[in-house]
């Protein structure tokens, strides 16, 4: 890997966590990773590939959950080794932490699980960087306690803002969360796609508002966020997970151009 994880996450350069919601087959993740890496190189943005090897939190019983743990983790490892980029995936139980840590550089804690002490400690005990997504039900200030749990093992913690529930089928982003959480963690990330989810739909499939992704991203960069989280796919309408709120891969170039200009203006 060309740059150290400290350079990527804790330096002055903006970083992007991006990829498909789930590892849904053997070809699409690598296609996405190559395209996003090229764009990040073009705009001077550090790139971290993201893909969930297993989707444990799904609305409906018949929703896609994965292609198999062994197969999906192997794809993450292949992307990491072939493209020489860091990768991340989410974990849901203590037992998953050590298994996933063999293939990734950052362990992501899902928002619904951000208070789970045993999960946070298991992730920290691997020695990997831990990215804790702020629960939709949590204030920014309360996330310091989640950080303290990981800090009992090491201090390489990221916090990710992903909106707050103020209704049954929508989320609201409070940009004050970014500077507040920067006081607790070494870096703060804005999740520009999940913050636009429209959960708890009667169809059993989560909706989204992807046309607002650029608005969320540009505002976060203007506020001074350290990194962005943007799920992307070459065919969101047919993605097997969270297609309703992913950015079309072809739109990422223009968005990164915009945020690079904003970042340079406030630097």
Superfamily (CATH) of domain 5-266? Aldolase class I (3.20.20.70)
Cα 131 from Cα 109, distance rounded (Å)? 6
Cα 21 from Cα 15, distance rounded (Å)? 18
Cα 21 from Cα 217, distance rounded (Å)? 18
pLDDT band at residue 184 under the 50/70/90 scheme: very high
Q: What is the mean pLDDT of the chain?
A: 91
| Alpha-helix runs per DSSP H in 51-159 | 69-83, 94-101, 117-125, 143-151
203 DSSP assignment: T
Q: What interhelical angle do 117-125 and 143-151 show, nearest 10? A: 40
Question: For 155-165, how does the pLDDT look when each residue is reduced to its tens digit (9 = 90+)?
Answer: 999 999 999 98
Tell me the sheet residues that pair with 133.
160
Question: For 118-127, how does the pLDDT look when each residue is reduced to its tens digit (9 = 90+)?
Answer: 999 999 999 9
pLDDT band at residue 217 under the 50/70/90 scheme: very high
Kindly list the domain boundaries of the chain, sorted by start residue: 5-266
Cα 261 from Cα 264, distance rounded (Å)? 5
Question: For 101-116, how does the pLDDT look when each residue is reduced to its tens digit (9 = 90+)?
Answer: 999 999 999 999 999 9
Q: Has residue 146 got a pLDDT over 60?
A: yes
Are 131 and 109 in contact by the 8 Å Cβ rule? The answer is yes
State the pLDDT at residue 234.
95
State the pLDDT at residue 206.
56
Are 229 and 213 in contact by the 8 Å Cβ rule? The answer is no
Question: For 43-99, how does the pLDDT look when each residue is reduced to its tens digit (9 = 90+)?
Answer: 999 999 999 998 776 556 567 677 999 999 999 999 999 999 999 999 999 999 999
Cα-Cα end-to-end distance for the chain: 26
Question: For 224-244, how does the pLDDT look when each residue is reduced to its tens digit (9 = 90+)?
Answer: 999 999 999 999 989 887 778
User: Around 111, how many Cα atoms within 13 Å sit in the side-chain half-sphere?
Assistant: 18
């Amino acid at each position: 890997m060309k740059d150290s994880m400290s350079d990527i996450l804790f330096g002055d350069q903006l970083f992007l966590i991006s990829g498909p919601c789930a590892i849904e087959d053997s070809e699409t993740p690598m296609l996405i990773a190559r395209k996003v890496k090229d764009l990040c190189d073009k705009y001077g943005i550090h790139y971290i590939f993201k893909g969930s090897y297993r989707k444990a939190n799904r609305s409906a019983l018949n929703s896609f959950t994965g292609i198999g743990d062994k197969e999906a983790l192997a794809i993450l490892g292949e992307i990491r080794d072939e493209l020489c980029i860091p990768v991340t995936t989410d974990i849901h139980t203590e037992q998953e932490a050590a298994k996933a840590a063999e293939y990734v550089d950052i362990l992501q804690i899902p928002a619904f699980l951000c208070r789970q002490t045993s999960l946070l400690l298991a992730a920290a005990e691997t020695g990997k960087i831990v990215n804790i997504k702020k629960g939709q039900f949590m204030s920014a200030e309360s996330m310091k306690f989640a950080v303290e749990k990981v800090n009992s093992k090491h201090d390489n913690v990221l916090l990710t803002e992903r909106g707050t529930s103020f209704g049954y089928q929508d989320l609201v982003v409070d940009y004050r969360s970014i500077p507040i959480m920067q006081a607790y963690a070494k870096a703060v990330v804005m999740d520009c796609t999940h913050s636009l989810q429209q959960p708890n739909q009667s169809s059993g499939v989560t909706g989204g508002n992807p046309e607002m992704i650029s608005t969320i991203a540009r505002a976060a960069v203007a506020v001074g966020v350290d990194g962005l989280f943007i799920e992307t796919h070459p065919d969101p309408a047919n993605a097997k997970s969270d297609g309703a709120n992913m950015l079309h891969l072809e739109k990422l170039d223009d968005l990164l151009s915009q945020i690079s200009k904003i970042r340079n203006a406030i630097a």
